[in-house]
């Protein structure tokens, strides 16, 4: 596989078998893809409608992308976007806060960590469903899979919120048992963590949160294992989490109400890929100068959205319609391509072998 063999595109019904394989391979509580053929088909159909609809966006839309290795004609990953978190109801999280309890008479002052149930992130656009085949985890494929979504949101900003969030999986063992859920959620619901995730479908947790206590949880009162789990990542979440952190997402404020994993959030315009993005016109003559570095490039269409990796000069302003990049993205004369450097911090990244 070379970087040029990778293509990110909207999911199609023909990808159902690949998504079944991905859902079956995902850890407990990690994927928002249901391990159920009928539900997966419905998810694909909703995505197809979201990509193709000419109606004004309602916020209910969910978009699902698949990453294909063209050399093998095989889907090797997926990622998604929910246009509005908690569209049908509030989207709950725990917010980290600290309170100070002091007694002047005793000369004692304690700063205590507390968790406050909130729905601050309701209405945020949510990044979802990240999965990459382990054989492709070490290289540029995860960057394309995660970051192309940000350029899609940028191109169709009227369909999304400028505030972006993403839940990341918290600590759980091989059977899906979560120390945070066992200490908090399970106290109020007679079900295991995997059952709770399956019931909510990974997106709408409001009906469970509504039955949980809304008073602050004092973290020092929780079992030590649960305290340790707060804001900690499941190992399979480390790669997508690191990509989002590099983009500029903040991970200090919110955690998931089920497993205590970190929920990141950011303003779209402040993210690295968006700040470094530029449009290339597809015109009769290319305007390129300087050494080439690896870029992530996306097409202008929504229903026929495509994202690829390519080498471009940093100072490029246009590509010719017969150029390989224009052909790969299906952009003809008069069209445009949105690009962002794969490693904007250094023009020497290709030499270091990152792609």
Name the band, by pLDDT with cuts 50, 70 and 90, for residue 347: very low
Task: Output the pLDDT for position 30.
Answer: 59
Residue 107 lies in a domain: no
Do 224 and 332 belong to one domain? Answer: no
Task: Output the pLDDT for position 99.
Answer: 85
Do 32 and 70 belong to one domain? Answer: yes
Higher pLDDT, 320 or 146: 146
Those residues with Cβ within 8 angstroms of residue 184's Cβ, 6 or more apart along the chain or in another chain: 212, 217, 222, 226, 257
Task: Output the pLDDT for position 29.
Answer: 53
Do 169 and 300 belong to one domain? Answer: no
Is residue 21 predicted with pLDDT exceeding 60?
A: yes
Is residue 81 predicted with pLDDT exceeding 80?
A: yes
Higher pLDDT, 228 or 86: 228
- The CA distance from 247 to 255, in Å, is 19
The H-or-E segment that residue 351 falls in is: none
Q: Smallest Cα–Cα separation from 89: which of 184, 247, 200, 219?
A: 200
Overall domain count for the chain: 2
The rounded percent of the chain whose pLDDT value lies above 90 is 63
What's 343's DSSP letter? S
Residue 72 lies in a domain: yes
Residue 187 lies in a domain: yes
Do 191 and 245 belong to one domain? Answer: yes
- The CA distance from 83 to 59, in Å, is 5
Do 196 and 260 belong to one domain? Answer: yes
Task: Output the pLDDT for position 345.
Answer: 57
The answer to whether residues 145 and 132 touch, using CB atoms and an 8 Å cutoff, is: yes
Higher pLDDT, 333 or 154: 154
> Last residue of a domain, which of 272, 300, 324?
272
Higher pLDDT, 234 or 111: 234
- The CA distance from 204 to 84, in Å, is 11
Do 156 and 249 belong to one domain? Answer: yes
Higher pLDDT, 67 or 56: 67
Name the band, by pLDDT with cuts 50, 70 and 90, for residue 137: very high
Least confident of 147-156, 174-183, 216-225, 342-351: 342-351
Task: Output the pLDDT for position 288.
Answer: 66
Residue 99 lies in a domain: no
> Last residue of a domain, which of 240, 272, 304?
272
Q: Smallest Cα–Cα separation from 1: which of 130, 131, 138?
A: 138
Task: Output the pLDDT for position 201.
Answer: 55
> Last residue of a domain, which of 233, 248, 272?
272
- The CA distance from 252 to 93, in Å, is 13
Do 48 and 65 belong to one domain? Answer: yes
Instruction: Classify residue 215 as exposed, middle or buried by CB count within 10 Å of its CB (0-12, 13-18, 19+).
Output: exposed
What CATH number does residue 137 fall under?
3.40.630.30
What CATH number does residue 303 fall under?
2.40.40
Do 158 and 296 belong to one domain? Answer: no
Task: Output the pLDDT for position 103.
Answer: 67
Is residue 107 predicted with pLDDT exceeding 80?
A: no
Residue 25 lies in a domain: yes
Do 248 and 308 belong to one domain? Answer: no
* Mean predicted confidence (pLDDT) in 293-313: 94
Name the band, by pLDDT with cuts 50, 70 and 90, for residue 100: confident
Do 311 and 266 belong to one domain? Answer: no
CA distances from 245 to 129, 272, 306, 316, 337 (A): 17, 10, 24, 28, 26
DSSP line for 205-268: -HHHHTTS--SPEEGGGS-HHHHHHTTPPPGGGHHHHHHHHHHT-EEEEEE-TTT--EEEEEEG
DSSP line for 42-90: HHHHHHHHHHH--SPP-S--EEEEEEEETTTTEEEEEEEEESSTTTTS-
Task: Output the pLDDT for position 351.
Answer: 33
Task: Output the pLDDT for position 155.
Answer: 96
The rounded percent of the chain whose pLDDT value lies above 70 is 88
Residue 113 lies in a domain: no
| Phi, psi values for residue 66, rounded to 5° | -125, 145
The answer to whether residues 248 and 272 touch, using CB atoms and an 8 Å cutoff, is: yes
Is residue 276 predicted with pLDDT exceeding 60?
A: yes
**141 is in which domain, residue-wise?**
3-94+118-272
Is residue 352 predicted with pLDDT exceeding 50?
A: no
Do 248 and 157 belong to one domain? Answer: yes
> If you average pLDDT over every residue of the chain, what do you get?
87
Is residue 315 predicted with pLDDT exceeding 50?
A: yes
B/e letters for 105-115, b = 16+ CB within 10 Å, e = fewer, are: eeeeeeeebbb
The pLDDT tens digits for 25-52 are 876 555 668 888 999 999 999 999 999 9
Residue 160 lies in a domain: yes
Residue 288 lies in a domain: yes
Task: Output the pLDDT for position 353.
Answer: 38
The pLDDT tens digits for 173-228 are 877 789 999 999 888 777 777 666 666 555 456 666 666 777 899 999 999 999 99
Do 287 and 225 belong to one domain? Answer: no
3-state SS of 107-143?
CEEEEEEEEEEECCCCCCEEEEEEEECHHHCCCCHHH
Residues across the chain:
355
Residues assigned a catalytic role: 234
- The CA distance from 126 to 123, in Å, is 9
């Amino acid at each position: 596989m070379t970087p040029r063999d990778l293509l990110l595109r909207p999911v199609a019904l023909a990808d159902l078998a690949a998504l079944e394989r991905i859902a079956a391979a995902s850890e407990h509580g990690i994927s928002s893809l249901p391990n159920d053929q009928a539900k997966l088909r419905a998810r694909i159909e909703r995505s197809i409608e979201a990509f193709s609809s000419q109606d004004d966006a309602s916020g209910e839309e969910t978009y699902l992308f698949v990453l294909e290795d063209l050399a093998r004609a095989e889907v090797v990953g997926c990622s998604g976007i929910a246009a509005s978190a908690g569209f049908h109801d509030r989207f709950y999280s725990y917010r980290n806060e600290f309170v100070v309890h002091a007694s002047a008479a005793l000369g004692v002052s304690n700063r205590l960590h507390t968790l406050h149930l909130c729905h601050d992130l309701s209405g945020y656009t949510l990044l979802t469903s990240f999965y990459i085949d382990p054989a492709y985890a070490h290289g540029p494929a995860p960057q394309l899979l995660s970051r192309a979504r940000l350029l899609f949101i940028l191109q169709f900003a009227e369909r999304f919120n400028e505030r972006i969030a993403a839940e990341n999986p918290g600590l759980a063992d091989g059977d899906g048992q979560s120390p945070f859920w066992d200490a908090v959620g399970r106290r109020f619901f007679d079900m295991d963590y995997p059952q709770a995730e399956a019931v909510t479908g990974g997106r709408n947790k409001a009906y469970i949160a509504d039955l949980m206590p809304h008073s602050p949880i004092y973290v020092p009162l929780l079992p030590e294992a649960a305290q340790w789990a707060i804001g900690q990542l499941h190992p399979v979440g480390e790669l997508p989490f690191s990509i989002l952190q590099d983009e500029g997402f903040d991970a200090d404020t919110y955690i998931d109400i089920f497993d205590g994993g970190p929920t990141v959030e950011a303003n779209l315009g402040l993210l690295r890929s968006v700040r470094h993005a530029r449009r290339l016109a597809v015109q009769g003559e290319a305007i390129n100068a300087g050494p080439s570095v690896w870029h992530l490039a996306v097409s202008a269409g929504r229903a026929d959205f495509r994202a690829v990796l390519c080498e471009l000069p940093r100072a490029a302003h246009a590509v010719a319609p017969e150029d390989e990049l224009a052909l790969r993205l299906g952009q003809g004369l008069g069209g445009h391509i949105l690009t962002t450097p794969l490693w904007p911090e250094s023009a020497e990244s290709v030499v270091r072998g990152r792609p």
